[in-house]
Amino acid sequence: MSSGGIPIEILLVEDDPDDVLLTRKALDEGRMLNNLHVVRDGVEAMDFLYQRGPYSDAPRPGIVLLDLNMPRKDGREVLAEVKSDELLKSIPIIVLTTSEAEQDILKSYNLHANAYVPKPVDPDEFVKVIRSFDSFWLSVVKLPCPGEAG
């Protein structure tokens, strides 16, 4: 929850249903009240962010959790597009991926990712990672106000 007491809109861009379920579980069990929106690939993510098609009423997310390896449009393409758009670039993007490849880490930060978090394979460890994300990014960090342009 933001410091103003308003729930934070979280956009999870993830094609693995098990990871979606674990993320939802970890955030639901956390202390914070947030709204989690899920899209399955980069095309849907951009439609959500630009409020196109079925996402015409989508809220502006306060933060995005982005997987890198997805169908249609991967996370690197989404990251590049969001961070090059004046209206979207202020939205913090946390890369949450199974890749621990140095090239993916470097490229993500070069594309202005706000953090890079490797996903643990173990479900219990995955939940711990999401909870640590919750306690830091949603409790400690001051996020931009929704609707504020970069």
Segment 85-142, tens digit of pLDDT: 999 999 999 998 888 889 999 999 999 999 998 888 888 888 788 777 776 766 666 6
Gap between the Cα atoms of 129 and 125, Å rounded:
6
Q: Give me the pLDDT at residue 2, please.
A: 44
What pLDDT score was predicted for residue 125? 84
Cβ atoms within 10 Å of 65's Cβ, excluding its own: 26
CB within 8 Å of 138: residues ≥ 6 apart: 1, 8, 10, 30, 32, 34, 63
**Domains located in the chain, CATH noted:** 8-136 (3.40.50.2300)
Any idea what DSSP says for residue 10? E
**CA dist 13 → 3, 26, 33, 140 (Å):** 24, 16, 19, 23
